[in-house]
A and B are shown apart, each in its own frame.
Chain A
């Protein structure tokens, strides 16, 4: 199984981490470590169908969901009540002010 691969650097928003790029046909796959198997199942338009076989303890999360989860966790950590109260009032006035300008 001959992989075509190369290493690329930055330019794709990757900062200082290089990325291994593989070309795989439908039905082909690759391993990450000894336990995680990734297979290309097919394509539908611009969407790639990827199959992943991994042990239960390895979390598999869509990348954009990880960012959302982090943002949600940040949103739950609220400031002290007095700061919270004034921030809510201030934003409320800003929002209502915007509404008035628009009408």
Chain B
């Protein structure tokens, strides 16, 4: 087990095999490894750096927000995740990073979801260039009018 100093939950013990590497980083933060910690009694997950307590994103599973979300991985993402083929996406963990402003609606980054291959504990931030989803998809006020 490793001790992770977290942003919100104090020190959390995590199995070493739960640590996720991001070969292309979550920009602009190079050389960080992360763990995913569920926020109890809620749909949220913390994407917490194991070495930098303040580097912690609040995320939601993409399917919680949009059950019909269509994933689009670039060839370099498929390669980094170590997928046997571009189609083998069924078991991937998909998280969307939330932005919570002082005022106004929370937003989710559906244009660049965090994709993790749990069998290899490798992740990427899969940046879409097709413009289908927004970097700031509003949650709550304003959705669907």
Contacts and interface: CB of A to CB of B under 8 A. Distances in A.
B110 to A, nearest CB: 11
A95 interface: yes
A69 B27 contact: yes
A1 interface: no
B55 A95 contact: no
A92 to B, nearest CB: 6
A10 interface: no
A95 B64 contact: yes
Nearest to B98: A75
Interface residues of B, number: 34
Contacts of B102: 79-80, 83
- Grouping DSSP codes into helix (H, G, I), strand (E, B) and loop, the B interface class, with mixed when no group exceeds half, is loop
A36 to B, nearest CB: 21
A48 interface: no
A74 B99 contact: yes
Contact of B106 (A66, A91, A99): A91
Contact of B127 (A64, A73, A78): A64
B42 interface: yes
B58 interface: yes
B136 A71 contact: yes
Nearest to B102: A79
Minimum-distance CB pairs A-B, first 4 = A69-B27, A69-B28, A94-B140, A75-B99
Interface of A: 61-62, 64-69, 71-76, 78-80, 83-84, 87-88, 90-92, 94-96, 98-99, 102
Given A68-B109, A95-B139, 12 more contacts: A61-B27, A62-B127, A64-B127, A69-B27, A71-B109, A71-B136, A72-B125, A76-B55, A78-B100, A91-B98, A94-B140, A98-B143
